[in-house]
Structure 1
Amino acid sequence: MSTVAFDRTHTDDLIDYVTASPTPYHAVRAAAARLERAGFTAVEETAAWEAAPGGRYLIRGGALIAWYVPEGAGASTPFHVVGAHTDSPNLRLKPYPDTGRAGWRQIAVEVYGGVPRHTWLDRDLGLAGRLTLADGSQVLAHVDRPLLRVPQLAIHLNREVNQSLVLDPQQHLTPIWGIGELDGDGVIDFVAKETGVDAASVVGWDLMAFDVQAPAYLGRDEELLAASRLDNLLSVHAGAAALIAAAQGSPSRIPVLAAFDHEEVGSESDTGAGGPLLANVLDRLVYSRGGSHEDRARAYAATVCVSADMGHAVHPNYSEKHEPGHHPMPNGGPMLKVNVNQRYSTDGGGRGIFAAACERAGVPWQVFVSNNAMPCGTTIGPITAARLGITTVDVGVAALSMHSARELAGADDAWMLAAALGAFLGE
């Protein structure tokens, strides 16, 4: 248990952020709103960028890149980058979503990412995402009330459910949302009406189901936080807070927040860490200040990225699944994530960088490494390191129930991560 004084303000704001961010598109808008209140301004990728000091950000789909150019920054000034991702495993609507069987109206969905399927059973689900209109514009949709449900089969009809539960993603994860035969008013018409747009103008959509249960403090002393999408909105929120804090000081590097989409499905997209988005932004920041290819190379050589993503706390009911010498706990501070096979990018030098940031922030830190007999997950860290050729460190907050429809973390770890990231970006 941490001895650091608990700051409820940051976690309260995290709860508001998660609630407002049922999809990556909402997550980047909610983060941008916080940046704007701190004086950051939006830029368009298609516009010329000024070299003037100050805070800027851009949004592309479900990704956000934000940065602060301090006074006196030169063309070869290196970057300190916090990387995170905005997407979470969930159920997403198919192109023709209206379906049904046996007198029930249902919604056809596709599983996105590594979903523990049973955690989506018997939950009240809303719908959110974005609608694309005939004029090319896009509007955010957020139906924040119980609308869908994936009902579990009663135990009377499956007596072996407690011995073996097998869920076919095509057959068993189709939500219901009403009774009766299909008619002309389908789910897209409904979402359009709820969003206040003409359904006839909707030509495309990116919609997904989300659990409408609100985040909550949990435990005798409310030292835990239960919420959906902590992986990885907790890190995006911490990164935004850290960038805002860094902009209030005089950083010697250019602090950057890179919140990518599609990490849960491999990062290979125009808004994922495997794409060129971050490199393009960093290059333009060099060149907009009159820099050369040589200046770019020098800046990159001294650039460091901290990849912030949720990690595994030791599970009390399955402690044998964890490495016996490394048992990260909630509220023990952010943890370094280590894997010698480069599933995480941390090495000894990176360990020193992050440990020093935690020391400056006055927060504890711990270490995660996988049990040798268990496969290890990965993050945007190794992708970013290989894509840009920059020093990268993987860190995160210890959690249980990762990728479940509802996850669990320490209530004070969120602001400790933000404090450590703030010390890193503000150096």
Structure 2
Amino acid sequence: MKSAKELQALLYKNETVADQAPEQIAKAAEFCEGYKRFLDNGKTEREVTKYSEELLKKAGYKPFVAGQTLNPGDKIYKINRAKCVLAATIGTKSIAEGFHLNIAHIDSPRLDLRPVPLFEKEGIAYFRTHYYGGIRKYQWPTIPLAIHGVVCRQDGSSVEISIGEAENDPVFTITDLLPHLGSQQNEKKLPDAITGENLNVLLGSLPIEEKDASDRIKLRVLGLLNEAYGISEADFTTAEIEIVPAFKARDIGLDRSMIGAYGHDDRVDAYPALMAEIENKNPAYTTVCVLTDKEETGSDGVTGLNSMYTFHFLQQLCACQNVDAITAFQASKCLSADVTAAYDPSFADVFEPCNGTYAGRGVAIYKYTGARGKSSTNDASAEMVSYLTSLMRRNGIVWQIGEMGKIDVGGGGTVAKYVANQDIDTIDIGVPVLSMHSPFEVVSKADVYMAYLTFKAFGEDAE
């Protein structure tokens, strides 16, 4: 039998980035300055798409045209309906030998406006909302909110709206009941204390001057919107307007080791994936970075990964080299880049410590997602897990592996299964997040950087 010291070398060690790669901490902090700008400029999927396109153009990417001749090193991109980004660098190998896909989503839990949102009640004007994705409704009242979106006006033109981000902008909020009158509310279960019908956004209280008019406060709000954006109440029916937190990304902690912000899920993986794609110069395999929409509501619709838009793009790339798409898909690999839950000592009862993933301990692999009996999951093969962990070891990347929490407590899903359903080997990997799906999520800068290094190594891998 080996000695205790020799046997201990056989153990799986889940150690911090600071301990395993202290030289990377300063680099992580520098990298995350760009990430914070990405967050502040992209509160919605449309804004992320627009900002990402600017970065791609600056890096020399050209719009993709189906049927064009593609040569090694060519950088191309395509925007799907202003909400999704597809960017690729053509490899030196034939596309028949497979793509290296890196897919993240850029939609986040939020509040959307209803088709007829504006109303007045007892001297206050409000917007009615419909929550998008898995929010905890009690977290959204009493915080500063901003209004973002696009309105397609009746005359055929469109206008972008952003109120609440500039220093002198007003902000908005959702009210909550004071504790002095909250005894009955306190008796309710947490999901019922604030209902969807309570999530009304406060807009104003000042009436127009004409005392004999009805809905005087609503009319003032509508008049202000009309003056600023040229819209009428009917235009809300053809609008996509989102209510999001108004605060900006900020360093967390005296050591500034973390970032607090809205939208880490999943822009914390989208930004490293995009940066890795942009910095990839002459890959062996053709690399493709996809920033997709609608993951938080099941990936359905023409901008969700359950549609064919990504795979049509890949098929068109194959056609440019006269390659059979089925052959290419079967040889491809995909990193489904999405967040997972960081172990939270304050709520330790829902986690299993040995299989938890921790903030500050590197990028996290999760072999399977889904719920309870692995329902609705991809469940990566042993070979795919081995490929990824070997890649990270060769490149000195700090990583960890685990599950979202205790088996019977709950679960979650990613886009991995939609890629795997196209006969592409896929594995989930991403940054652990504290307070996931809240208006103010928290991540470790070190983990963000390890995600970037992983995505970069994946794009550069020639084996």
TM-score (norm 2): 0.84
**Percent of aligned positions that are identical:** 22
Output the amino acid matched with 1:236: A
Distance 2:254 2:46 in 1: 35
Distance 1:69 1:134 in 2: 42
Contact 1:73 1:254 in 2 (8 A): yes
From the superposition, tell whether residues 400 and 55 of structure 1 become closer, same or farther in structure 2 (CA, over 3 Å): same
Matched with 2:201 is 175
Distance 2:391 2:158 in 1: 40
From the superposition, tell whether residues 106 and 399 of structure 1 become closer, same or farther in structure 2 (CA, over 3 Å): same
From the superposition, tell whether residues 288 and 330 of structure 1 become closer, same or farther in structure 2 (CA, over 3 Å): same
Query: How far off its partner does 1:169 sit?
Result: 3.2
Deviates more, 1:236-245 or 1:158-167: 158-167
SS for the counterpart of 2:313 is helix
Contact 1:337 1:344 in 2 (8 A): no
**Which residue of 327, 351, 373 maps to 1:322?**
351
Matched with 1:350 is 384
Contact 1:324 1:371 in 2 (8 A): no
**Which residue of 60, 63, 83 maps to 1:62?**
83
SS for the counterpart of 2:271 is helix
Contact 1:146 1:212 in 2 (8 A): no
**Which residue of 116, 119, 141 maps to 1:121?**
141
Matched with 1:101 is 121
Once the two structures are superposed, what CA deviation does each residue of 1:48-101 show, in whole Å capped at 9, x if it has no partner?
Answer: 54434411111123111111113x443514101011111111110111111121
**Which residue of 283, 289, 292 maps to 1:260?**
292
Matched with 2:371 is none
Task: Note if 1:241 corresponds to 2:261.
Answer: no
Output the amino acid matched with 2:322: G
Task: Note if 1:399 corresponds to 2:428.
Answer: no
Query: How far off its partner does 1:183 sit?
Result: 4.1
Matched with 1:157 is 181
Distance 2:197 2:301 in 1: 29
Deviates more, 1:160-169 or 1:218-227: 160-169
Matched with 1:274 is 306
From the superposition, tell whether residues 176 and 279 of structure 1 become closer, same or farther in structure 2 (CA, over 3 Å): same
Task: Note if 1:15 corresponds to 2:36.
Answer: yes
From the superposition, tell whether residues 50 and 207 of structure 1 become closer, same or farther in structure 2 (CA, over 3 Å): farther
SS for the counterpart of 1:171 is helix
SS for the counterpart of 1:199 is coil
Structure 2 gap segments, 5+ residues each: 1-15, 208-215, 369-373
Contact 1:77 1:254 in 2 (8 A): no
From the superposition, tell whether residues 376 and 338 of structure 1 become closer, same or farther in structure 2 (CA, over 3 Å): farther
Distance 1:204 1:266 in 2: 23
Distance 1:130 1:347 in 2: 42
From the superposition, tell whether residues 190 and 205 of structure 1 become closer, same or farther in structure 2 (CA, over 3 Å): farther
Task: Note if 1:384 corresponds to 2:416.
Answer: no
Query: How far off its partner does 1:163 sit?
Result: 5.6
Query: How far off its partner does 1:162 sit?
Result: 5.3
Give the count of matched residue pairs. Answer: 415
Distance 1:418 1:191 in 2: 41
Distance 1:205 1:29 in 2: 18
Matched with 1:222 is 256
Matched with 2:112 is 92
Matched with 1:284 is 316
Structure 1 gap segments, 5+ residues each: none
Task: Note if 1:148 corresponds to 2:172.
Answer: yes
From the superposition, tell whether residues 184 and 245 of structure 1 become closer, same or farther in structure 2 (CA, over 3 Å): same
**Which residue of 204, 218, 242 maps to 1:208?**
242
Distance 1:192 1:19 in 2: 26
Matched with 2:48 is 27
Distance 1:221 1:20 in 2: 25
Distance 1:280 1:236 in 2: 21
Distance 1:35 1:230 in 2: 21
Output the amino acid matched with 1:376: G
Task: Note if 1:51 corresponds to 2:51.
Answer: no
Matched with 1:374 is 409
TM-score (norm 1): 0.91
Distance 1:373 1:149 in 2: 36
